[in-house]
Amino acid sequence: MADPKGFLTTRDRELPERRPVPVRIRDYREVYAQRGADEAFVPTLIRQAGRCMDCGIPFCHNGCPLGNLIPEWNDLVRRGDFRRASERLHATNNFPDFTGRLCPAPCETACVLGINQPPVTIKNVEQSIIDTAFDEGFVTPQIPQQLTGRRVAVIGSGPAGLATAQQLTRAGHTTAVLERADAVGGLLRYGIPEFKMEKAHLDRRLDQMAAEGTIFRPGSDVGGEGGLTGEDLLERYDAVVLAIGSTIPRDLPVLGRELGGVHQAMEYLPQATRVVHGLPVEDQITAEGKDVVIIGGGDTGADCLGTATRQGARSITQLEIMPRPGEERPAGQPWPTYPMTFRISSAHEEGGERVYATATAEMVSDGSAGEGRVTHLVVNEVVFKGGRPVPVEGTERRIPAQLVLLAMGFVGVPTDGVVDQLGVSVDARGRIERDDDFATNVPGVFVAGDAGRGQSLIVWAIAEGRSAAASVDRFLRGGTELPAPIRPTTMQVTV
């Protein structure tokens, strides 16, 4: 610990400033005016990293699925040694550039300082290290010394597929990433909006991976039309990793669901990103000039909110069926757990109304938005009885909505296509079943990320990818030196 009194002399959290709302909603750039790596912010950053107490038992490690070596890189930043900080960061995380921007930071809610002070700004320190590392040229391709002659296919190019592929390529296996979409990145490419992470960060990582030898094949719908079949995969590759995400969205089977203007979030968000990048879209769904209702109070809903704000919606309402969480940790979720508290994302700062404990009873059309197009929602307040939402009598009301976006989560993998062709088994929750080594019931076929875990987070997808890669390496060579931070059955951090 470079500064044993840092946590006493600096008690407040200091973070880079976000751009003013009226300015940032006029573009799709990231919301921060300043990066942690900017020269003017460095003294603040060093002061903040110096608040780390280098705890004997660093609970932040355990909060992080990757087991990030947080006190080590806090200390190195405190000393201004960004090169070594970057090395220690990459020792456990392939893509701190993604997690530093997008992770909800369970490490911070587990930080020991958080017991009686605001926790260390771990996520910002992480982002600052990786931004500096790229700026200074510390991030270079790690080309394998020798090739094993083994071929691996990774299906899906989200964070799980990319982490798996990078680990296996570096271990010397010839690794191809097959992706259905026209560009690589999974939800990082077409789900998460530009204002949360500019795609340039993804592209520079993909450049590094390509230089290391990973082969990318976008436009490859495995198990679909014109793509390789499950049989082809088993014939051509020594191992296969399914990192196909959890892509079936939860629906809302209410009266009027079939009306025009009602869309799943993942029909809306990818189009919006394509438009920002000047890519072609068919029949663009836009919020411009409309009353927008987003059903679902989570991150996907917030991404729809920020996008609709930038497209110029007339009004935006985000409905959440659960009651509004409190500002403080609930008694049943004490430190160091990740608590359900009221959070304000950058999109919420920008506008829109959040309505809690409210459910949609019906979607209606009065014809004013065009034949068969939604114009209103009928909603009710609800209370939970026996775990089920029950409408409160007398609370029914109509809210205007010419665009309704469903952001209610995902229920698993499609069971047709490659899953069916390979014959891998899927559990009752729509997840591909795997054993403790990420292996499916089909020899040589593994699974990583949301496809096996269910809808989750980027940090878990990377941890799964790293661990699955270790299992594949062991399968191919009889042993491995690759790290495996988690096991599916226990989900414990094991490094």
Q: Which of 160, 234, 238 shows the shortest CA–CA distance to 474?
A: 238
Of 244, 295, 313, 422, the one binding ligand FAD (CB under 6 A) is: 244
- Residues of this chain, 192-221, that bind ligand SF4 according to CB under 6 A: none
Q: What is the 3-state secondary structure (H, E, C) of the chain?
A: CCCCCHHHHCCCCCCCCECCHHHHCCCCCCCECCCCCCHHHHHHHHHHHCCCCCCCCCHHHHHCCCCCCHHHHHHHHHCCCHHHHHHHHHCCCCCHHHHHHHCCCHHHHHCHHHHCCCCCCHHHHHHHHHHHHHHHCCCCCCCCCCCCCCEEEEECCCHHHHHHHHHHHHCCCEEEEEECCCCCCCHHHHCCCCCCCCHHHHHHHHHHHHHHCCEEEECCCCCCCCCCCHHHHHHHCCEEEECCCCCCECCCCCECCCCECEEEHHHHHHHHHHHHCCCCCCCCCCCCCCEEEEECCCHHHHHHHHHHHHHCCCEEEEECCCCCCCCCCCCCCCCCCCCCCCCCCHHHHCCCEEECCEEEEEEECCCCCCCCECCEEEEEEEEEECCEEEECCCCCEEEECCEEEECCCECCCCCCHHHHHHCCCECCCCCECCCCCCECCCCCEEECCHHHHCCCCHHHHHHHHHHHHHHHHHHHHCCCCCCCCCCCCCCCCCC
**Partner whose binding site includes residue 60, from ligand SF4, ligand FAD, none (CB under 5 to 8 Å by kind):** ligand SF4
**Partner whose binding site includes residue 59, from ligand FAD, ligand SF4, none (CB under 5 to 8 Å by kind):** ligand SF4
Query: Which residue number, 25 or 111, has a Cβ lying nearer to ligand SF4?
Result: 111
Per DSSP, the three-state class of 316 is: strand
Query: Which residue number, 315 or 456, has a Cβ lying nearer to ligand FAD?
Result: 456
**Partner whose binding site includes residue 53, from ligand SF4, ligand FAD, none (CB under 5 to 8 Å by kind):** ligand SF4
Site string for ligand SF4, 121-150 (x = CB under 6 A): -x----------------------------
Of 66, 69, 76, 103, the one binding ligand FAD (CB under 6 A) is: 103
Site string for ligand FAD, 303-332 (x = CB under 6 A): x-----------------------------
Q: Which of 122, 151, 128 shows the shortest CA–CA distance to 32?
A: 128
Of 457, 463, 472, 484, the one binding ligand FAD (CB under 6 A) is: 457
Nearest distance in Å: CB 77, ligand SF4: 12
Residue 58 near ligand SF4 by CB under 6 A: yes
Site string for ligand SF4, 86-125 (x = CB under 6 A): -------------------------xxx------x-x---
Residue 64 near ligand FAD by CB under 6 A: no
Query: Which residue number, 351 or 414, has a Cβ lying nearer to ligand FAD?
Result: 414
Residue 100 near ligand FAD by CB under 6 A: no
**Residue 299 identity (one-letter amino acid):** D
Burial class (CB in 10 A: 0-12, 13-18, 19+), 218: middle
- The set of residues, in sequence order, having a beta carbon less than 8 Å from that of 168 and lying 6+ positions away, is 152, 154, 175, 469, 472, 473
Query: Which residue number, 55 or 359, has a Cβ lying nearer to ligand SF4?
Result: 55
Query: Which residue number, 123 or 150, has a Cβ lying nearer to ligand SF4?
Result: 123
Query: Which residue number, 73 or 190, has a Cβ lying nearer to ligand SF4?
Result: 73
Of 50, 58, 158, 336, the one binding ligand FAD (CB under 6 A) is: 158
Pairing, β 174-179 against β 215-218: parallel
Burial class (CB in 10 A: 0-12, 13-18, 19+), 99: buried
**Partner whose binding site includes residue 221, from ligand FAD, ligand SF4, none (CB under 5 to 8 Å by kind):** ligand FAD
Residue 241's CB: how many other CB atoms inside 10 A? 32
Site for ligand FAD (CB under 6 A): how many residues? 41
**Partner whose binding site includes residue 493, from ligand SF4, ligand FAD, none (CB under 5 to 8 Å by kind):** none
Nearest distance in Å: CB 10, ligand SF4: 12
Residue 71 near ligand SF4 by CB under 6 A: yes
Site string for ligand FAD, 275-294 (x = CB under 6 A): --------------------
Residue 183 near ligand SF4 by CB under 6 A: no
Nearest distance in Å: CB 72, ligand SF4: 9
Query: Which residue number, 244 or 313, has a Cβ lying nearer to ligand FAD?
Result: 244
Nearest distance in Å: CB 48, ligand SF4: 11
Binding segment for ligand SF4 among 57-65, 229-237, 403-411, 467-475 (CB under 6 A)? Answer: 57-65
Residue 213 near ligand FAD by CB under 6 A: no
**Partner whose binding site includes residue 244, from ligand FAD, ligand SF4, none (CB under 5 to 8 Å by kind):** ligand FAD
Please give the residue ranges that form the binding site for ligand SF4 (CB under 6 A): 52-55, 58-60, 70-71, 74, 111-113, 120, 122
Binding site for ligand FAD (CB under 6 A): 102-103, 155-161, 178-181, 186-187, 191-192, 196, 220-224, 243-245, 247, 269, 299-300, 303, 417-418, 449-451, 456-459, 461
